[in-house]
Amino acid sequence: MNYAIRVMWFVILGAVFGVSPVPATSAKQGKSRPVKKPAVSIPLEIAQPKRKIEDCVLATIYHPEGIVLIRQSDLRSGLSGQAPSLRDAIIKELIILDGKTLAKAKMLNMGSMEEEVEKALSRAQEQLGMTREGLIAFFKEQGLTLEEAKKELERGLIVENVIDSRVKTKAQVSNKAIEQYHNDHPIVRYSFRQAVVPLGGSSKALRRALIEQEIASGNIEHSVDWADIGAIAEKDFSTEKAYIKDLPVGTVIISDESDEEFTLLKFIAKKITPLEERKNDIANMLTQERYIQTQKAYFDKLFQEANIRYSDKAVRP
């Protein structure tokens, strides 16, 4: 698939799924700011010569909402450009069936899918600067009619709505959880000043002894030129220098030496990053982790509880 076609798919997919299903929670709980979805991975070559395939049935799903057949053709690349596994194809159908159940129970408002798909296509046309005829021609290049493309987009929207209901709403984290993580995993920064003392013609041993004497008397504070070197995070200390973190504030040490000079380090301050500076990052991280865990549990539950019969030609997931 050439670059222009890949860009078109990205825009069309983005017009439908332009917001990540994993919310980025703001510092004020109750508000969410959308974050971009990870880019859809599309193989460089999708438009392979069409081959006649035996479109056999691989699996049959028996569900209160109906019977669904998973065929070999369902494992071909779709709008995302990725070929799903049999398990992926089954789970997608189970999510759509679950959406029908939720809608009947009035636990999920699907709205007008046709209207949503049209809006998505209109946004894609605007971003691509294409006419509807141009978009239809693009779909045709991919072996899809406009109606087939709409149907796939509609199914994608249903999946997104169900995931929002079953997963996203359960992935939010409380202020208490954020505060607990902050307390359990503090970010500590250490501020230092540094000074370089040349040997100045003295022997190395003598010069070191003089420096240690000035450190002990406290005169070293005024006898050398100090420069701020900023703050160092706890995680950035090397193993051999980790002991510096445990020194009393104000301590001066010889941190390094060579045949030409000694490097001195003065421990200025130890500061723990306040919660307010980390709250967004912690909330996003915990939400992402919980989203992944919740989604996996939901998918596993769907698969385990499903009534599926596999054909002899299927490789069971």
pLDDT band at residue 79 under the 50/70/90 scheme:
low
Question: Which of the two residues, 268 and 39, has the higher pLDDT score?
Answer: 268
Task: Answer yes or no: are the C-beta atoms of 266 and 244 closer than 8 Å.
Answer: no
Nearest Cα to 155, choosing from 105, 106, 89, 104? 89
**106 with 139: CB under 8 angstroms?**
no
Give domain limits for the chain. Answer: 3-177+286-310, 188-272
Tell me if 127 sits within 8 A of 15, measured CB to CB.
Answer: yes
**CA–CA gap between residue 315 and residue 311 (Å, rounded):** 9
161 and 107 in contact (C-beta within 8 Å)? no
Those residues whose C-beta lies under 8 Å from the C-beta of residue 9, and which sit 6 or more positions away, are 1, 40, 42, 79, 80, 81
What band does 28 get if pLDDT is binned at 50, 70 and 90? very low
pLDDT one-digit tens code per residue, 179-235:
999 999 999 999 999 999 998 877 899 999 999 999 999 999 899 999 999 888 888
pLDDT at 8 over 70: no
User: Fold identical between 3-177+286-310 and 188-272?
Assistant: no
Cβ proximity of 286 and 181 under 8 Å: yes
The three-state (H, E, C) secondary structure of 280-292, written as one string: HHHHHHHHHHHHH
Q: How far apart are CA 276 and CA 226, in angstroms?
A: 32
**Structure token digits, residue 184:** 């359990």
Question: What rounded mean pLDDT belongs to the chain?
Answer: 83
| pLDDT over 60 (residue 16) | no
Residue 230 backbone zone (phi > 0: left; psi -120 to 50: alpha; other: beta): left
pTM: 0.67
Domain made up of 188-272: CATH architecture: Roll (3.10)
- Give residue-wise pLDDT tens across range 109-119: 877 788 889 98
Orientation angle between helical segments 86-104 and 275-305, nearest 10 degrees: 100
The CATH architecture to which 3-177+286-310 belongs is: Orthogonal Bundle (1.10)
From the list 271, 274, 276, the residue with the least C-alpha distance to 175 is 276
